[in-house]
Amino acid sequence: MSRTLVLALCSVFALSGCNKNDPSPKPPDTKAKAAADFGASVDKIFAAWFAARPVTATSLGEHSHDGAWPDMSAEAVAADLRRIDEGLALVQTLAGGKLSADERIDIDVLRAELELQKFGHEIEQPWRRDPSWYTATIGGGLEDLVSREFAPVDQRAASVAARLDALPKLCEQAAANLVAADAFEPQTNVAIGQIEGIVVLIEQVIPQRLEQASPELKGRIVASTPTAIAAVRDLQTKLRDEVLPQAKGEWRLGAEKFERKLALTLQSNISADELRRVAVVEHGRVRKQMAELAYELAPELLGTSRVAKIKKRAARDPDTDVIRAVLEELAAIHVAPDQLREAIETKLTRLGEFVKANNVLTMDDAEVLQVIWTPPHQRGVFIAGLAAPGPLETQAVGLPSFYLVQPIPEGWSPQVRESFLREYNDFMLEILSIHEAIPGHFVQLYFAKREPSKVRRVLGNGAFVEGWAVYTEKVMVDAAYAGAGPASGASRPRGVSKGAWKVAQDPALRAKAIALHGLKFYLRSVTNAILDNGVHAGSMTEDEAIELMVQRSFQQEGEARGKWLRAQVTSTQLSTYFVGAQAWLRLRKRAEIRARDAGTTFDMAAFHDAALAHGAPPIHRLPILMGWTENETPAAAGAATVEPAAAPAADGS
């Protein structure tokens, strides 16, 4: 029988597998069907969420609802809670089926997100207590349509026009929903200030960004602008004159609610009390490392006689005084306020080259990163941040990520401005740029958007994301990253000591100065966890918080005041940095042990590439996704604890 005839017969009897003795059809591919059913169920949950929260959908790169605002009527709020309950019921049904390891993780992540949304409905109720929820919605809902060219300009302009047309209704709902006596005072103050930024966005930014739109659409936007601005101004007046004077709502979560939200945020089983205990221990350990490094730098910066005097005059802890003196000397090396953005831009090129040269991970040169001033409507809470394209963007290649830098407010006094610049001195800007950009958030987020799982692409675990950024600070310090010193022939700036200028010019000393600031930045992450717990699970006052941050954690007062505000208006997010960093350090240690046991050399880039290739799941689930734990039981795979791991190395070793 010829091969041609065999192929022809196989074509005729395809359903029987070309077996004339077994004419019965092949059973359907149940695994493929189960995967399709799982995907359809996930899509259904996301579709309902995006319809209820169209601004969230836009930010994630799903553009089916770009012209709409969320309906915040009483009926819609009730319907949204039903949407969450229906999603949880569907998740429960899926969990009872036969799932792959990847799908089991996705289900857990999706359940935690829905439970967190339900927590918002039952406990936080931002639509009636948090005015900044509305200003964030309005600002983001407009900014995300004009900040990137994800679609033709006319398509985006039409969505902007639709949202401007509908903005008065959202503002009316906000005014009706907010209960002055239950409102949060810190969030109300933030919202009042952010409305100024929203007005700038509507009046100035949108016309500039949509200049190439059709005359008809620009006409619609111009026609809608006065009414939209009047609506947000009316809301601002209500917040300032009616809500703020009565805003007595309890913005602290309390111990029980904080515990519940922390578990959902971290997706781990560590208790709030245990997390605080470990953070306090780590805080003391990092301070000791800082002292060791400060004493290495002190002779060059201060001279041996001055160090002796500082130790002799110290009332309690001489190490603390020496650390502070060293940091104060180094803090004098900083840029002028208008040079802040430019200074950061120059650091990014060096960071990228260093990452490649030192086999840290695989960079993608096609990804675009731009350093921009933080948009006015987003200012007031975060000093810096990374805004990446939505993970669902179909035109993700070429869409820029934005490294957001908050400009120094014009209303700040000279003393506060100087305090801010000293906090973000040249050495600290290196660490900040590692964290926010390379190889931190910018790199991690463009790895994550390639993950096939829609769940892990959209619902990034905060501890994974922030922990990675903190962990990379240690990676770069360990590799002896030294940045770049002053330009050849540059003169010593006024106010900079000879010792500090020598440190800035000497690569080895400069690497130690960056390492010291890396420890200081890591200490900030540890302090964040203590602060988060003290504020929301306890009764920490502003004075106590400032003392923790300034006196015991070496922060400038301006930075500490800003963090106090952030601690009030957010909850559990500040804990993600420390928890995530510890988890990444443990994962790295495990990878090194695996390489040693296999008789191979640990490949840092290969480890980082593999770990980042699965979206942003809870870090303790990564071993399963990376194929390390084929025989691990579900109970062991789901466990997550925090134990002190090695803090960022002080000497680059």
pLDDT at site 573: 97
Domain boundaries, the chain: 272-579
What mean pLDDT do residues 606-624 have? 97
Q: How far apart are the C-alpha atoms of 503 and 331, rounded to whole Å?
A: 12
Give me the residues paired with residue 49 across strands.
none
Give me the residues paired with residue 404 across strands.
372, 385
Query: In Å, how far are 161, 464, 584, 585, 647 from 581, measured between CA atoms?
Result: 43, 8, 5, 6, 9
Q: Are 605 and 494 in contact (CB under 8 A)?
A: no
Better-scored residue on pLDDT, 72 or 407: 72
Nearest alpha-carbon partner for 645 in 273, 294, 279? 279
Query: In Å, how far are 196, 328, 541, 555, 559 from 416, measured between CA atoms?
Result: 22, 15, 21, 13, 9
pLDDT digits (tens, 9 = 90+) for 185-200: 999 999 999 999 999 9
SS3 per residue for 311-336:
HHHCCCCHHHHHHHHHHHHHHCCCCC
Task: Say whether pLDDT at 14 is over 90.
Answer: no
Amino acid code (one letter) for 578: F
136-162 burial, b for 16+ CB within 10 Å, e for fewer? bbbbbbbbbbbbbebbebeebbbbbbb
pLDDT at site 652: 34
Nearest alpha-carbon partner for 641 in 624, 623, 627, 620? 620
Task: Say whether pLDDT at 381 is over 80.
Answer: no
Amino acid code (one letter) for 621: R
208-225 burial, b for 16+ CB within 10 Å, e for fewer? ebbeebeeebbebbeebb
pLDDT digits (tens, 9 = 90+) for 489-546: 899 999 999 999 999 999 999 999 999 999 999 999 999 999 999 999 999 999 999 9
Q: Of the given ranges (58-72, 200-214, 421-435, 632-646), which has the lowest mean pLDDT?
A: 632-646
CB atoms within 10 A of CB 563: 23
pLDDT band at residue 383, thresholds of 50, 70 and 90? confident
Q: What is the pTM of this model?
A: 0.90
Pair of tokens at residue 402: 């934005």
pLDDT at site 159: 98
pLDDT at site 377: 73
Q: How far apart are the C-alpha atoms of 649 and 653, rounded to whole Å?
A: 6
Task: Say whether pLDDT at 634 is over 50.
Answer: no
Q: Vertex 195, ends 189 and 201: CA angle to 5°? A: 150
Q: How far apart are the C-alpha atoms of 435 and 467, rounded to whole Å?
A: 10
Q: How far apart are the C-alpha atoms of 204 and 215, rounded to whole Å?
A: 17
Q: How far apart are the C-alpha atoms of 339 and 359, rounded to whole Å?
A: 31
Per-chain mean pLDDT for the chain: 90
Amino acid code (one letter) for 634: P
DSSP conformation class of 613: B
Better-scored residue on pLDDT, 496 or 412: 496
pLDDT at site 375: 86
pLDDT band at residue 244, thresholds of 50, 70 and 90? very high
Give the largest CA-CA distance in the chain: 101
Strands 384-387 and 369-373: unpaired
DSSP conformation class of 367: S
pLDDT band at residue 651, thresholds of 50, 70 and 90? very low
Task: Say how many CA atoms lie within 13 Å of 594 toward its Cβ.
Answer: 14
Kind plus residue range of the DSSP H or E element containing 226:
helix 215-238
Q: Are 62 and 392 in contact (CB under 8 A)?
A: yes
CB atoms within 10 A of CB 607: 19
pLDDT at site 3: 33
pLDDT at site 407: 87
Amino acid code (one letter) for 139: G
pLDDT digits (tens, 9 = 90+) for 287-311: 999 999 999 999 999 999 999 999 9
pLDDT digits (tens, 9 = 90+) for 326-336: 999 999 999 99
Q: Are 520 and 554 in contact (CB under 8 A)?
A: yes
pLDDT at site 380: 62
pLDDT band at residue 27, thresholds of 50, 70 and 90? low
Say if residue 439 is preceded by a cis peptide, omega within 30 of 0.
yes
Q: Classify 378 as helix, strand or coil.
A: helix
Q: Of the given ranges (152-166, 200-214, 337-351, 439-453), which has the lowest mean pLDDT?
A: 337-351
Task: Say whether pLDDT at 637 is over 50.
Answer: no
Task: Say whether pLDDT at 101 is over 60.
Answer: yes
Task: Say whether pLDDT at 24 is over 60.
Answer: no
pLDDT at site 1: 40
pLDDT at site 644: 44
467-495 burial, b for 16+ CB within 10 Å, e for fewer? bbbbbbbbbbbbbbbbbebbeeeeeeeee
pLDDT band at residue 74, thresholds of 50, 70 and 90? very high
DSSP conformation class of 201: I
What mean pLDDT do residues 580-608 have? 97
pLDDT band at residue 225, thresholds of 50, 70 and 90? very high
Task: Say whether pLDDT at 6 is over 80.
Answer: no
pLDDT band at residue 636, thresholds of 50, 70 and 90? very low
What mean pLDDT do residues 129-151 have? 97
Backbone φ and ψ of 384, nearest 5°: -150, 160
pLDDT at site 384: 86
What mean pLDDT do residues 105-113 have? 97
DSSP conformation class of 646: P
